[in-house]
Amino acid sequence: MPKDIPLYFSNTVLEDNGLEHEELITLEELSELQKEITKHLRGKGDLRSIISEMADCYICLSHLQTGMFISDREINEAIMNKVERYFERREKGDTK
């Protein structure tokens, strides 16, 4: 996740709106990204829209990480576990 999303921004948003609200907003933003990717797969979308929705998702995920007190270390460990599992599956010829 990009590290240039200031912690004070997430803290301010959470203070103003609450964690539950931000969880709902995250679901909405993920849905919007899904729609843009679907348009792209159908040849009707554009990269600028995907980038915009990805940015919204990164911001929302940052708010959730802050609000749920999840450390960068925990996120990085989860990512590395997924990377390792991918390469284990790849060695077995199972990447899809």
Would you say residue 60 lies in a domain? yes
Run of H or E including 85 = helix 72-91
Would you say residue 75 lies in a domain? no
Domain count, the chain: 1
Domain hosting 33: range is 7-69
Would you say residue 74 lies in a domain? no
Three-point CA angle 94, 37, 89, nearest 5°: 10
Return the DSSP state at 5.
S
One pLDDT digit (tens) per residue for the chain, 96 residues = 556 788 899 999 999 999 999 999 999 999 999 999 999 999 999 999 999 999 999 999 999 999 999 999 999 999 999 999 999 999 999 887
Q: What is the pTM of this model?
A: 0.88
Whole-number Å distance between alpha carbons of 55 and 63: 13
Which amino acid type is present at position 5?
A: I
Would you say residue 42 lies in a domain? yes
Quickly count: other Cβ atoms within 10 Å of residue 93's Cβ.
7
